[in-house]
Amino acid sequence: MARARRALTVLAFLLPVLVLFGVFRFLPMLGAVGLSLSEYHLGGDWRFVGADNYRSLFADRIFLESLRTTLGYVALYVPLTLATALGAALLLHVVPRGRGLFRAALFAPYATSLVLGGVVWRWVLEPTGVLRHPGLVLPALAVVGAWKGFGYAMLVLLAGIGNVPAGCLEAAKVDGASVWQRFRHVLLPSLRPALFFVLVVETVGAFQVFDTVYVMTGGGPVRASYTLAYAVYDYGFRYFDVGRAAAAGVALWAIVLLVSLTQRRAFERNP
């Protein structure tokens, strides 16, 4: 009886959050799946078409190019963000004074608006011509994205470093382990949960990149920065093809889920 009361109490506290999560997460997801199986243009009639949107989507050269561009951005952004965040976290961990000030300064870009950051960086980079070069625009956007996003990952990794037992590092040092050996064999294994969390979060964010691209390049030049999220936006708000936009959004969700599961399996296989 006592256990049942406790379970009901827990459920009573969780129920409002579960209701909100269901209304604002699951219902829109189900609605998007339903729209992806239909032909619907804003202001027009709704017609069920089954998987036609998905077949036409993966036969669309522009969509496939946007997928390739997004994968390229992810491949640039995620390692750069993780390396920058880990380096900053390690430096903050050993800095003797002013740690709070440096932490606030490094975290500040994350707290700024994506649109504002994009406008400032466009103003900085436009004279260099980088944003007009098809081969350089994606690395430039990855650098801007890493500048904007590494602060959150840095705080997560800094918390993880703080949880590493100091005795383990001291013991390794007494045993004659070098700085690299202590980092490789003591610190990194202890940081695996934090690194995995940061990896998944940053990967998901990279696949959904839109604001920076919209503000800085508009998908150009010659679609060199045209991402999946930008394609979803164009399908829905430029061509008013809601069914195809929903199909592209569901495809993006499925790709992100597949990549996240692959990352999890990779971490589990390499303890």
pLDDT for 65: 93
Give the tens place of pLDDT for each residue, 154-169: 999 998 888 877 677 6
What is the fold of 54-269?
MetI-like fold (1.10.3720)
248 vs 236: CA distance, rounded Å:
10
Cα separation, 251 vs 208, in Å, equals 12
Tell me what the mean pLDDT of segment 262-269 comes to: 83
Least confident of 86-95, 127-136, 175-184: 175-184
Alpha carbon of 55 to those of 40, 193, 202, 251: distances in Å? Answer: 16, 38, 29, 11
* Residue 244 to residues 36, 77, 80, 235, 263, Cα–Cα distance (Å): 6, 27, 33, 6, 29
Count the neighbouring beta carbons within 10 Å of the beta carbon of residue 94: 8
pLDDT at 254 over 70: yes
Q: Which two tokens stand for residue 179?
A: 């700085």
* Contact by Cβ (8 Å): 154, 160: no
Angle at 255 between CA 251 and CA 256, to 5 degrees: 120
Domain with CATH 1.10.3720.10 in the chain: 54-269
